[in-house]
Homo-oligomer: A and B are copies of this chain.
């Protein structure tokens, strides 16, 4: 199966890009509370995307990310104003690529290379265009084009349509295991980039491969 791969699809946040600098910005502004802010913020950001999809009340990820931050700072009873919120949101548009990302993409250039994210284009495009990966990515695909968040089958189907390949010809990478479960359920080949050494979620779907960073995908060359 490995030799049949025509396209590589990468998730963005945590997978190609390191979200560490979001945490750092939280610590810059809120000191000791920074860590807790970044954890609750991420949990709520994910939860709001899932819930809005389930309820049929889609809003773009930029709006959801702001709403999740707003909730987080309210819940933790921390003072905030528009300037603080903008500073924190801006961090999402200025992430560093993980150190191995560029070299791995370079080595896999004989395949189509796409990113596919729940992020809306106002978040994704500045991030990717200002990064070292800009020239290495053939397609930026956002769920916002069809307003269907991952992990719905419709979202992965859209990515497939943009790339014009068959589902078994895709290798899909994400550091989010729920995203891997959704992609596997849809019929992609999958590699879970398990950077934090987490246990496998119990969602009835196993990744085809599990790696600690993107280097492992070279065996799909």
Closest to A50 in B: B50
Q: 15 additional contacts, CB 8 Å, given A54-B152, A55-B182, A57-B185?
A: A48-B202, A48-B203, A51-B178, A54-B151, A55-B181, A56-B153, A57-B181, A57-B203, A59-B204, A67-B203, A68-B202, A70-B202, A71-B201, A74-B199, A75-B198
Q: Is A149 an interface residue (CB 8 A)?
A: yes
Q: Is A52 an interface residue (CB 8 A)?
A: yes
Q: Is A21 an interface residue (CB 8 A)?
A: no
Looking at chain A, what size class is its interface with the partner chain? Answer: 20 to 34
Q: Is A47 an interface residue (CB 8 A)?
A: yes
Q: Is A53 an interface residue (CB 8 A)?
A: yes
- A57-72 residues at the B interface, CB under 8 angstroms: 57, 59, 67-68, 70-71
Q: Which of A43, A67, A151 has the most CB of B within 10 A?
A: A151
Copies of this chain, complex-wide, total 2
Residue positions of A touching B, CB distance < 8 A: 43, 47-48, 50-57, 59, 67-68, 70-71, 74-75, 149, 151-153, 178, 181-182, 185, 198-199, 201-205
With A47-B178, A178-B47 already in contact, the answer to whether A185 and B70 are too (CB < 8 A) is no
Interfacial chain B residues near A178, Cβ < 8 Å: 47, 51
Cα distance, A164 to B176, chains bound together (Å): 42
| Shortest distance from the beta carbon of A211 to any chain B beta carbon, whole Å | 20
Interfacial chain B residues near A68, Cβ < 8 Å: 202
Contact B202 A67 (CB under 8 A): yes
Closest to A150 in B: B54
Contact A199 B71 (CB under 8 A): yes
Of B50, B57, B198, B199, which contacts A204 at CB under 8 A?
B57
Of B50, B56, B74, B198, which contacts A51 at CB under 8 A?
B50
Contact B199 A55 (CB under 8 A): no
Contact A52 B153 (CB under 8 A): no
Contact B203 A54 (CB under 8 A): no
Interfacial chain B residues near A57, Cβ < 8 Å: 181, 185, 203-205
Contact A202 B55 (CB under 8 A): no
